[in-house]
Amino acid sequence: MVGHRSDLSMASNQGADRRAILNFEGKRYDLSSMSDEMKRLVKGLQTAEGQLKFAQDQLRVVAVGRQVLASQLKRKLSEIDPITD
């Protein structure tokens, strides 16, 4: 779903009971009790979320670079006269 951000997180219980817990949309699930297919889906979703975060971070870097370039251009253009029609 485009625009849907899942509530996906993994946790490991402390102490002797060290099982992996999946937190998804406000509910907790025991990952070890899931089928291999479900585990692959969880892994795929984690990968997609990681890639999305990386892409968002890259976009922020590009946006900042664009702002710097525009600022430098504006400063340089202030040194010359614009064309008048």
Residue 42, C-beta contacts closer than 8 angstroms, at least 6 positions apart: 8, 22, 31, 34
The encoded tokens of residue 57 equal 């971070």
Model pLDDT for residues 50-73, shown as the tens digit of each residue? 999 999 999 999 999 999 999 999
**Domain residues of the chain, as ranges?**
20-77
pTM of the model: 0.66
3-state helix, strand, coil in the chain (%, to 5): 55, 15, 30
Model pLDDT for residues 8-56, shown as the tens digit of each residue? 776 766 555 678 999 999 999 999 999 999 999 999 999 999 999 999 9
pLDDT at 19: 83
Q: Is 15 helix (H, G, I), strand (E, B) or coil?
A: coil
